[in-house]
């Protein structure tokens, strides 16, 4: 007997395929525009930060995506081009560790060609753990990368090696930062996730080290992303506490945000030696202005860092879809968006409240 396989067309995919173009500004259900696209170029990483990819879970048996599942650079650039035409002004490449993606500079060169509808170049940036930066900085800059964020959780080598959990020395990340400066990458941000009892005593040494260097240090509240890091509220150091700690040493004054929806609150050193930032993802939700979408390594569009499901664009990209179809699909997805997890966090149980498992940050990007 011959079994016929009847493909069940996922309702969401069907809705995407049949979406029609709309005119006017693209806004979600809470009237938020789509300005910011984060693109994860790999779900793999050479670190095992326990708050993101704990070793016990992300081991050799972990089902990382096969290469064929990854969007190609051409597919990524196509989504980016369509998204830019719909209002995206800023693209951040992330992961996993984006510098592990082979020839990442070729993707940067393609994205650097894109312009907003009013002719402005795209704000193109990348977040890296810095491990490969010393080797790659010049190629990234030459390809057209303008800005860079380096994650660094402390200067104490013992603590840093323990936090990355692969015994990676802090010196190499600092060398990477120096190489990035030398290559001419301006506006470098340094992100430190603060975990109580792990690296909170590194707040002042980190601030002292980066003050006056031109690199802006930002302290991030440890978030309950994913389903594997065993997050507990008592490990979160609220930004207000970080600011109090900084103010024991330096006078600070608040700065206005560069753009609405900016994740970091900016503070200037009163002595004129630059600024620091705090990202209060847990204690002060910034969902009301959240204009970010995330494209996963395998081409799913996620509307919130805490989502459990994405919208499959790869299926469209690898099918017959024209750019008009793709545009209509992105419009349809964004117009249906009502996510505001952080604003609701206090009222929700530990999971999303739907019983669904949240995706990992290494898969959709930070
Ligand atoms: N591997 C790159 C890196 O570490 O910069 C890029 C990807 S990483 C997922 C992006 C950012 O997310 C990093 O700055 C990292 O510190 C941050 N991150 C990861 N897990 C986090 C968590 N549980 N809470 C807050 N930030 C987190
Ligand atoms: Fe890797 Fe970045 Fe996650 Fe650390 S935070 S495990 S460096 S992806
Ligand atoms: Fe945006 Fe979701 Fe974060 Fe709120 S919780 S700021 S909607 S990504």
Both tokens of 210, joined, read 């980066």
Ordered per-residue pLDDT tens for the chain, 366 residues: 334 443 444 566 777 877 887 777 899 999 999 999 999 999 999 999 999 999 999 999 999 999 999 999 999 999 999 999 999 999 999 999 999 999 999 999 999 999 999 999 999 999 999 999 999 999 999 999 999 999 999 999 999 999 999 999 999 999 999 999 999 998 999 999 999 999 999 999 999 999 999 999 999 999 988 777 788 899 999 999 999 999 999 999 999 988 877 889 999 999 999 999 999 989 987 899 999 999 999 999 999 998 889 999 999 999 989 999 999 999 999 999 999 988 887 666 554 444 456 778 878 776
Whether 292 is in the pocket of ligand 3, judged by its Cβ within 6 Å, is: yes
| pTM of the predicted model as reported, rounded to 2 decimal places | 0.93
Cβ(128) – ligand 1 distance below 6 Å: yes
Q: How far is the CA of 343 from the centre of ligand 3 (A)?
A: 8
Q: Are 136 and 103 in contact (CB under 8 A)?
A: no
The protein residue with its alpha carbon nearest to ligand 1, atom 8, reads: 366
Instruction: Provide the domain limits for residue 39.
Output: 3-364
- Ligand 1 pocket mutation pick from 49, 279, 345, 361 by most atoms within 8 angstroms of CB: 361
DSSP-assigned beta bridge partners for residue 275? 268
Is the CB–ligand 3 distance for residue 364 below 6 Å? no
Say yes or no: CB of residue 35 within 6 Å of ligand 3.
Answer: no
pLDDT at 3: 43
Domain count of the fold of the chain: 1
Would you state the pLDDT for residue 355? Answer: 46
Radius of gyration of the CA atoms of the chain, in A: 21
- Three-state SS for 36? strand
CA of 299 to the centre of ligand 1 (A): 20
Is the beta carbon of 302 within 6 A of some atom in ligand 3?
no
- What is the pLDDT, as a whole number, of residue 347? 66
Nearest CA, atom 11, ligand 1: 366
- 219 Cβ below 6 A of ligand 2: no
Residue listed under structure tokens 């992330």: 94
Q: Are 330 and 80 in contact (CB under 8 A)?
A: no
Select from 292, 301, 359 the residue to mutate for testing ligand 3; criterion: most ligand atoms less than 8 Å from CB: 292
Whether the CB of 45 sits within 6 Å of ligand 2: yes
Cβ(362) to ligand 1 under 6 A? yes
Per DSSP, what are the bridge partners of residue 292? 36
Assign residue 9 the CATH number of its domain: 3.20.20.70
> 167-180, pLDDT tens digit by residue?
999 999 999 999 99
Q: What does the pLDDT read at residue 351?
A: 45
pLDDT at position 125:
97
Residue nearest to atom 8 of ligand 2 (CA): 96
The Cα-based distances of 46 to 56, 130, 137 in angstroms read: 15, 11, 17
- Per-residue pLDDT, 1: 38
The answer to whether 125 and 90 have CB atoms below 8 angstroms apart is: yes
96 lines ligand 2 (CB under 6 A): yes
C-alpha–C-alpha distance, residues 208 and 215, integer Å: 12
């Amino acid at each position: 007997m011959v079994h016929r396989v009847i493909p069940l067309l996922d309702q969401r995919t069907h809705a995407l395929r049949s979406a029609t173009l709309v005119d006017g500004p693209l806004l979600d259900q809470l009237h938020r525009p789509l300005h910011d696209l984060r693109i994860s170029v790999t779900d793999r990483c050479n670190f095992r930060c326990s708050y993101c990819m704990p070793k016990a879970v992300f081991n050799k048996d972990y089902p990382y995506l096969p290469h064929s599942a990854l969007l190609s650079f051409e597919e990524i650039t196509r989504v980016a081009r369509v998204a830019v035409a719909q209002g995206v002004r800023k693209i951040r490449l992330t992961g996993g560790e984006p510098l592990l993606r082979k020839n990442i500079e070729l993707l940067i060169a393609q994205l650097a060609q894109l312009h907003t509808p009013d002719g402005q170049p795209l704000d193109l940036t990348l977040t890296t753990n810095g491990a490969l930066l010393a080797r790659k900085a010049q190629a990234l800059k030459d390809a057209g990368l303008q800005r860079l964020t380096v994650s660094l959780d402390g200067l104490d080598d013992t603590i840093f090696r323990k936090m990355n959990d692969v015994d990676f020395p802090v010196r190499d990340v600092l060398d990477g930062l120096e190489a990035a400066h030398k290559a001419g990458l301006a506006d470098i941000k340094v992100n430190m996730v603060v975990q109580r009892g792990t690296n909170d005593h590194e707040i002042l040494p980190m601030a002292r080290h980066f003050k006056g260097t031109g690199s802006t240090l930002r302290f991030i509240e440890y978030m309950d992303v994913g389903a594997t890091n065993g997050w507990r509220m008592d490990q979160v150091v609220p930004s207000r506490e970080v600011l109090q700690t900084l103010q024991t040493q330096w006078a600070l004054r608040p700065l206005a945000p560069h753009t609405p929806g900016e994740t970091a609150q900016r503070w200037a050193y009163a002595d004129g030696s630059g600024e620091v930032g705090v990202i209060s993802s847990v204690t002060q939700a910034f969902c009301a202005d959240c204009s970010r979408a995330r494209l996963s390594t395998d081409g799913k569009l996620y509307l919130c860092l805490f989502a459990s499901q994405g919208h499959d664009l790869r299926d469209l990209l690898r099918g017959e879809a024209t750019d008009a179809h793709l545009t209509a699909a992105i419009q349809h997805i964004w117009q249906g968006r009502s996510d505001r997890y952080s604003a609701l966090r206090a009222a929700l149980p530990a999971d999303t409240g739907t019983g669904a498992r949240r995706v990992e940050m290494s898969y959709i990007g930070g």
